[in-house]
Structure 1
């Protein structure tokens, strides 16, 4: 808790105490109270007790240690791409994806009530990346901080009259800041996708409606490995909505991939595609099958 700026610590302590009394209702999120992940947790589980965690690792640990029932974690943004480190943390966590949520992002520029000319803006790197064009056009220098609402609290603690914070508008009310610009994002359709992570998967029947399946795999280090591994999805008519590569370690030999597909592993055409993927890969690991929160390709 001491990692949080002083203006946030009392509220964080209060929320942690409430979650400790009823961990079955606790939903972990990364950031200080008022962060976008806090809002996403409340939208996904309106009756939950949000549990603030300083880092993504802390949020995942809270679920593993039974201090929270699940965690709501951002995985990608429509403007700035994937959230750093999540693709490594997900498989290492041992947790299962049980749901997804899409949050319309509205960044608010806020400062101390008696502020002077704003020359810098502090926020999470994702938020700074989503507002980089606006900041460049207005001569504002970005300053990185571990989360959006935490940047608002840190601004109050620092008392810098020339610094602003980029955070959800609720953060201004929580920490007593003045709103300078209510909507700073570079695009009106700025959206972040969150996933729900739990210790065990929920039972998602084949006929439950549109579902997503997420998995990771490593291709063999041979020519056309990826082409062969993915061929079954094309021939079986399975819609792959996301495919991202990343390197683990310094081998630079074979690449691991994160993928989302539309469909349930128990559906015959999906099962055939996954079997073909497994044949042409070193290994395949399913991370979860869960209800689709938004139709893809529309």
Structure 2
């Protein structure tokens, strides 16, 4: 565990780690300090689990790989900022499987020890500060960058200065005893983060449940390779909801892709599309098939 957490957060981390170590089968790993939005996602997805805070995404993944947690809940994309950095590398390399997804509506709170009128500055993660900048400017409150939203709340609570507040979740305010001075202060009312559940073993949604499938592939270095590779999804009526490219190992000739579709390889139409995909790619890795949490248009 990281020693960089503020003391109040570190005390909670130590308690939660001890509980998770005693019952690893109930532990669910997440990245961040207690009170982070990832912690909120764990509580919403697995109400009876033992949340296991981890310093980084790699640490959360390693906890599952090593059996110290039954699964991990990891953010993969945000409606304002797009994909979470390095997830397209970490997911296929981890050897873990996506077994579920969950959407968290990010409602930022203005937290403090006193009143809003007393605040002169607020601490939070740079992304969170960027998401509330119009409100802060209108209130005349200066933003101060911190490495984590929940850790910022813990630091404010520990420092005891009523002139310094934090932007974090309602959960963080409750954990560290801060007043909720304003709620829903994000500038965009659609701010939502999508999380995936990672486990060592793959799972399949129950029959009749709408499914999503996530996979990686590398196209061959030939003209129109991507067009041909994806043609099978179009001709078989498969809806592709995500397609992102990235380069690995300094290569500029062959792109790798992370993609998501609606449906399961157990469906005949999806199976035909994957067969066609295989003809025009060097390799295909299915990362997981899991129940769809909500329609993408919502």
Note the alpha carbon deviations across 1:239-282, whole angstroms, 9 max, x for none: 00111122223333222211110001121110111121121112
Give the drift of 1:176.
2.7
Tell me the equivalent position of 1:14.
15
Tell me the equivalent position of 2:97.
96
Note the alpha carbon deviations across 1:7-54, whole angstroms, 9 max, x for none: 111111111111111111111111111111111111111111111111
Q: Do the aligned residues in 2 keep the contact of 1:31 with 1:146 (CA within 8 Å)?
A: no
Q: Is 1:255 aligned to residue 255 of structure 2?
A: yes
- The change in CA–CA distance for 1:179 and 1:58 in structure 2 (over 3 A counts) is same
Any gaps of 5 or more consecutive residues in structure 1? none
Greater CA drift, 276-285 or 217-226: 217-226
Tell me the equivalent position of 1:58.
59
Match of 1:106, SS state, is: coil
Tell me the equivalent position of 1:123.
124
Q: Do the aligned residues in 2 keep the contact of 1:24 with 1:68 (CA within 8 Å)?
A: yes
| Superposition pairs of residues 277-288 of structure 1, within 5 angstroms | 277-288=277-288
Any gaps of 5 or more consecutive residues in structure 2? none
Q: CA-atom RMSD, angstroms?
A: 2.2
Tell me the equivalent position of 1:234.
234
Q: Do the aligned residues in 1 keep the contact of 2:75 with 2:196 (CA within 8 Å)?
A: yes
| Superposition pairs of residues 1-298 of structure 1, within 5 angstroms | 1=1, 2-113=3-114, 118=119, 120-135=121-136, 138=139, 142-157=143-158, 162-205=163-206, 207-297=207-297
Note the alpha carbon deviations across 1:63-104, whole angstroms, 9 max, x for none: 111110000111111122111222221112111000001111
Greater CA drift, 52-61 or 170-179: 170-179
Aligned partners of 1:143 and 1:60: how far apart in 2? 30
Normalised by the length of structure 2, the TM-score is 0.91
Note the alpha carbon deviations across 1:215-250, whole angstroms, 9 max, x for none: 011222333222111111111100001111222233
- The change in CA–CA distance for 1:261 and 1:183 in structure 2 (over 3 A counts) is same
Count of residues in correspondence between the two structures: 297
Aligned partners of 2:92 and 2:232: how far apart in 1? 24
- The change in CA–CA distance for 1:236 and 1:149 in structure 2 (over 3 A counts) is same
